[in-house]
Amino acid sequence: MNAQVAVALEEIRTRFSPAEFVVEPDDQGGARVRFGPVALGPAFTQNDTWLAGHLPAQIPYADVYPIFVRGDLSRKDGTDLTAPVTPNHTFMGQLSVQVSRRSNGRDPIVETPALKFAKVLAWLNSL
């Protein structure tokens, strides 16, 4: 992985410590990352999840999209997950739920991958 991706990973580690991390470098200079547990809000049956995504080699100029969470995510009220939160995906060999939250018009200096993960988690917990 390239230096910018390594810096982004270190920022994610710092922000989400003491989460456990799995990192898989890709063959393009980027990396796939999965980390957790992180707390989920009261709308979900589960108390926590992991977060995952692909950090492309073009970081900081590329968005981390989409984000993935645990594959068994379910709502306490029993309603189905619907777009932009969709089940039945696989990421890094794990059954996953995809959270599709693109950051259009983002400032690459301000919105780092760590901030993107934090914003997606906050949005998910607001449901």
Q: Is 42 helix (H, G, I), strand (E, B) or coil?
A: coil
Q: What is the mean pLDDT of residues 59-82?
A: 96
- Cut 0.75: pTM above it: yes
pLDDT of residue 78: 95
Higher pLDDT residue, 5 or 103?
Answer: 5
Domain-wise residue ranges, the chain? 3-125
What pLDDT was estimated at residue 107? Answer: 82
Residue-wise pLDDT tens digits, 4-57? 999 999 999 999 999 999 999 999 999 999 999 999 999 999 999 999 999 999
pLDDT at 114: 97
Rg (CA), the chain: 14
CA angle, residues 92, 120, 86, in degrees to nearest 5:
60
pLDDT over 90 at 106, yes or no: no
Q: With CA atoms as reference, report the closest residue to 65 among 20, 19, 111.
A: 111
